[in-house]
Amino acid sequence: MSRYVAVLAGQGYMVFLPNHRGGTGYGDAFMRDMYGGYFRNAHLDVMDGIDALIDRGLANPDRLIKTGWSAGGHMVNKLITYTDRFKAASSGAGASDWRSMHGESDVRHSRAFIFGGSPWDKDAPLAQYEADSPINEAWKVVTPTLFFSGANDVRVPPTQSILMHRAVIAAGAPSSFYLMPGEPHGFGKPANQLFKINTDLAWFARYALDQTYDPVLPREAFDFGQEDDADRPESLGAQSQANEQ
């Protein structure tokens, strides 16, 4: 559910897919750069790539959008706390608190490697878990941000997105959260995939382009009959700090 590049391109968006440090193809040191800290350089690489596109006249600095799923969702959560340059963002199945994530997720070994141990070890690297957790700097967020999660996701449980969504609301930024019943780490039902894509496009159009988006995909895909109520996306809705009290 992280890739709908053709749809974005068809809507006139330029799509940048960075291979930041922690990725493969540039040697062992490049891949191992995340050891000891998830966000040491990865988020800086993304921003450097964006700046390179802007310098070449390929990207509009006033209409930047960030979207991602899973590891991409982690990156969205980090970047909206790191910079105010994005006009809109969409985070799918992203981590917000690495310490609770370690206990909730079905996968731990790779993260223990990244952070230098589990959070319940003797002399645990708790400071690094805290430093890399976007939730701790969510008070800085001004970017209107969507959050999506599958109700049956055991890799990045919905609580991670709920935490970040509520923190963004408390910061005063527009935010909506959608929980998809029955879905695991990635959305498998075509109706949910279409819902996610169209919700993103409407959000981006509103906050980055100052436009209204009319879905171009079949409307019947979004028509939930009474017998389909169990499959209907659950939304906490767009909220503000004022009505959160």
- What pLDDT, in 10s, does the model give residues 156-202? 999 999 999 999 999 999 999 999 999 999 999 988 999 999 999 99
pTM: 0.88
Evaluate if residue 222 carries a pLDDT over 70.
Answer: no
Q: Give the helix, strand, coil percentages of the chain, each rounded to 5.
A: 45, 10, 45
Looking at residue 223, what is its pLDDT?
60
All structural domains of the chain: 5-244 (3.40.50.1820)
Query: Running DSSP on this structure, what letter comes out for residue 226?
Result: G
pLDDT digits (tens, 9 = 90+) for 18-44: 999 999 999 999 999 988 889 999 999
What's at 124, amino acid-wise?
A
pLDDT band at 227 (very low <50, low <70, confident <90, very high): low
SS3 category, 18:
coil
**Is the model's pLDDT at 241 over the cut of 60?**
no
Residue carrying structure tokens 């019943």 = 181
Q: Is the pLDDT of residue 229 over 80?
A: no
Exposed/middle/buried for residue 45 (C-beta within 10 Å: 0-12, 13-18, 19+): middle
